[in-house]
């Protein structure tokens, strides 16, 4: 049985780790706040480097590119405890350019790098229904897939080149935020027109207008429940990466740029820790209309 490590027990990583443990896998973990491991059937390491010798496969799920660089390649980074033939799976959403550089550094030490960002929110992490978009060597991915199945309903190999998973995640986030903008505009229109929001949602979500964001976040918006499946601050980080990636390849993404500015206005009002479906609040400020029953 492969020994597993997991670094990062945040809004996504804790649920993923819990599912690995429930599936019977032995997992050694590290998190900046050790208390995040409370209640999990895991072994807690004192620092990332200590995870390496206890693991054949290390999963990483942290916030941003500098965080990945620190926990992997820093003075106490996990790579210093890993050996030739080990695999590092990065579930973080980070820069595709940096991912290619990290994979090269890891390869020099004989460690395969799989960039495997995920989608599905904290609910997906807890329920084991995440979608994984994975880039990197197919042989390494074959080795880690049985373990990722503990928290994933879909695992798609999108390319052999490191960074391809991160580019697909950028595509994913374009669809996420523009679907959220569409849901926000539509429900606010229904509110302004005096329609019954629950009946309106039920009428449209089963047809061509339906989407995951509408069905899963629409009810939360109507209830004014802003608890995060994914926070505005993290969404903004991802959109920054989308804009950088689009600039790199010369692709126009005007809708993403608009949503980025709307989220920025919410951050300016201290709302960055709310769920990304609170995007509707930016439109409420423009309309002078508040969503809800």
By annotation, the residues acting in catalysis are: 169
DSSP type of residue 268: H
Rounded to 5 degrees, φ, ψ at 15 are -65, -40
| C-beta of residue 11 within 8 angstroms of C-beta of residue 36 | no
Spatial CA neighbour of 6 closest among 94, 78, 73, 111? 78
User: Cα–Cα distances in Å, from 59 out to 4, 69, 109, 291?
Assistant: 8, 14, 17, 40
| Collapsed DSSP state (helix, strand, coil) of residue 90 | strand
CA dist., res. 20 & res. 14, Å (int): 10
- Across-strand partners of 28? 5, 43
For residue 142, give the 3-state DSSP assignment: helix
How many angstroms separate the first and last alpha carbons of the chain?
53
Distance of alpha carbon 238 from alpha carbon 244, whole angstroms: 10
Beta bridge partners of 275: 231
Give the closest residue to 211 by CA, choosing from 188, 178, 189. Answer: 178
Q: Which residue has the tokens 């523009």?
A: 178
Cβ 170 vs Cβ 241: under 8 Å: yes
Structure tokens at 217: 């976040």
- For the chain, helix (H) and strand (E) counts, in that order, are 12, 9
Alpha carbons 181 and 212: distance in angstroms, whole number: 13
């Amino acid at each position: 049985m492969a020994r597993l490590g997991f670094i990062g027990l945040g809004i996504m990583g804790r649920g993923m780790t819990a599912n690995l443990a429930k599936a019977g896998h032995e997992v050694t973990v590290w998190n900046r706040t050790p208390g995040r491991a409370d209640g999990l059937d895991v072994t807690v390491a004192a620092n990332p480097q200590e995870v390496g010798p206890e693991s054949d496969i290390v999963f990483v799920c942290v916030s941003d590119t500098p965080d990945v660089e620190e926990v992997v390649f820093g003075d106490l980074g996990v790579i210093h405890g890993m050996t030739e033939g080990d695999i590092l799976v990065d579930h973080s959403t980070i820069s595709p350019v940096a991912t290619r550089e990290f994979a090269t550094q890891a390869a020099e030490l004989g460690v395969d790098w799989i960039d495997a960002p995920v989608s599905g929110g904290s609910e997906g992490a807890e329920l084991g229904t995440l979608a994984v978009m994975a880039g990197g060597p197919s042989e390494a991915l074959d080795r880690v897939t049985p373990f990722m199945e503990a928290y994933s309903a879909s695992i798609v190999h999108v390319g052999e080149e490191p960074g391809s998973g991160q580019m697909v995640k950028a595509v994913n986030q374009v669809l996420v935020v523009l679907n959220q903008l569409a849901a926000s505009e539509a429900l606010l229109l229904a509110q302004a027109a005096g329609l019954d929001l629950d009946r309106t949602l039920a009428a449209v979500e089963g047809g061509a207008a339906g989407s995951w964001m509408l069905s899963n976040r629409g009810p939360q918006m109507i209830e004014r429940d802003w608890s995060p499946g994914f926070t505005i601050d993290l969404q903004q980080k991802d959109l920054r990466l989308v804009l950088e990636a689009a600039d790199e390849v010369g692709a126009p993404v005007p809708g993403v740029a608009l949503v980025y500015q709307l989220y920025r206005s919410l951050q300016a009002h201290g709302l960055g820790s709310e769920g990304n479906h609170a995007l509707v609040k930016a439109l409420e400020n423009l309309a002078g209309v508040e969503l809800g029953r």
